[in-house]
Amino acid sequence: MTNAATPTVTTDATDAQHGLKKHSDGGWGLVPVQTRSLRFTSTNVEDFPAVTGREAVWKLTPIARIADLLSGSLDGSVYEYDLTDADGVSAEWVDRSDTRIGSVGAPEERASANAWSSFERALVISVSGEEPKEVTLQRSALGSAARAAHTIIDVKPFTTATVILRNTGDSRLTENVEIHVGESANVTVVSVQEWTDESAHLASHFAVVERDARLKHAVVSLGGGIVRLNPTTKLSGTGSDTEMLGVYFADAGQHLEHQVYVYHEAAHARSRVNYKGALQGEGAHTVWIGDVLIGPHAAGTDSYEQNRNLVLSDGTRADSVPNLEIETGDILGAGHASATGRFDDEQLFYLQSRGIEEDEARRLVVRGFLVEIVQRIGSPALEEHLRHAIEAELAGERFRTEAGE
């Protein structure tokens, strides 16, 4: 267990003696780290070099637009929030000396480390009880000043719950979220980004899933000038399970980025990753990078990851990179897939042949494409809200054909 007051740095004691320096891609040595689990980590921002945009983890991100979150001073004070009442759920601000801080993960890049170095107190949400419950943490008054935050979601053994982190309003925020899922618990954590167009949000989510526990982690990114939310899940207990879902819609000038990592550490664990996004408008840019590592002790692993992107207009860009590492031959299955394309002409023809106008037909196709993920979140009220939000996105700009009509 790592205490936040003591930076965690993975180095060799002889490095300084022999004059070795950190590589720009992270880690120590003369070449970039090749195995995902061996990336350099530290809770001290000074242990990371300044970001240039040439680093592997930053090369697709518009660095100039988030410079204040990478290197500037951050407001790490507590902020206002609303949390719905539910039996077995509590929230409290804790000092940096709390032993739960750093027990799940540590930063792998500078923005995450800057948040870790800057927050004053962490918000701990404790969830317990076998009866199903749903709670929403609402943040809507963070303001436009550069800010740091740290949140811990502590799910006790045998708990069943849905925790929704809903973000609206203005923000310039870099933060870390630690999620601990106790033995045999079944929890859904949803992060919803509906920030204003001027906002920037950088977040690292770290999750550990214990024996026979299940985590459904969902990311919904609809608002914000820049959103870069990178979730990591470690399946540390035998029989653990994770489903990592994502849905995003990028408009003109918007950058939405998700770097997903699943680490199969224990045997007989299962993971499914499914992210879908749509893009429309000049300069809309999405990035999805999916890493799955099946460790040497993860016998019986069952894993699959995929990303699908639907391009709705010219002038957009979707980067999609699935990666898979396997360190044991005793697995049930592992695979990955990625696809980016325009509308299916056959679907459009089918709908138009039944009297549906082209614009409406295109909306129906996009709606069905994205709502497939929304329906799997498991919260009827949130699903209804997100359907309306997606409809609003679709109404924001008239769809045009490839011919530029």
- The predicted-structure confidence for 292-311, as pLDDT tens digits, reads as follows 999 999 999 999 999 999 99
**Which pLDDT score, from 0 to 100, does residue 228 have?**
98
Using the predicted structure, report yes or no on whether residue 114 has a pLDDT greater than 60.
yes
Q: How many CB atoms lie within 10 A of CB 91?
A: 15
User: In the prediction, which pLDDT does 405 show?
Assistant: 36
Q: What's the rounded mean pLDDT across residues 118-130? A: 98
pTM over 0.85: yes
3-state SS class at 272: strand
Q: Which of 116-120, 161-165, 245-249, 346-350 has the lowest mean pLDDT?
A: 346-350
The pLDDT, as a whole number, for residue 393 is 87
- Report percent pLDDT > 70 for the chain: 87
- Report pLDDT for 364: 81
Q: What percentage of the chain exceeds 90 in pLDDT?
A: 80
The tens digit of pLDDT for each residue in 207-259 reads 999 999 999 999 999 999 999 999 999 999 999 999 999 999 999 999 999 99
Check pLDDT > 90 for residue 29.
no
Backbone angles phi, psi at 172, to 5 degrees: -135, 95
Q: How confident is the model at residue 16 (pLDDT cuts 50, 70, 90)?
A: very low
The count of C-alpha atoms lying within 13 angstroms of the C-alpha of 111, restricted to the half-sphere facing its C-beta, is 29
355 — pLDDT class (breaks 50, 70, 90) = confident
Which pLDDT tens digit goes with each residue over 63-80?
A: 999 999 999 899 999 999
Which pLDDT value is given to residue 48? 97
Residue with tokens 């959103």: 227
Residue 347 has pLDDT above 90, yes or no: no
Domain boundaries, the chain: 15-343
Instruction: Please state, as a whole number, how many other Cβ atoms lie within 10 Å of the Cβ of residue 92.
Output: 11
For residue 398, the model assigns a pLDDT of 40
Start-to-end Cα distance in the chain: 59
Kindly state the average pLDDT of the residues 88-101. 97
Look over the chain and give the mean of its residue pLDDT values, rounded to a whole number: 90
Average pLDDT, integer, range 388-404: 64
Whether the pLDDT of residue 6 is over 60: the answer is no
The whole-number pLDDT of residue 366 equals 85
Rounded distance between C-alpha atoms, residue 208 and residue 3, angstroms? 17
Closest to 88 (Cα-Cα) out of 115, 49, 113, 125: 125
348 or 182, which is more confident? 182
Whole-number Å distance between alpha carbons of 244 and 189: 10
In 3D, which of 199, 205, 287 has the Cα closest to residue 250? 287
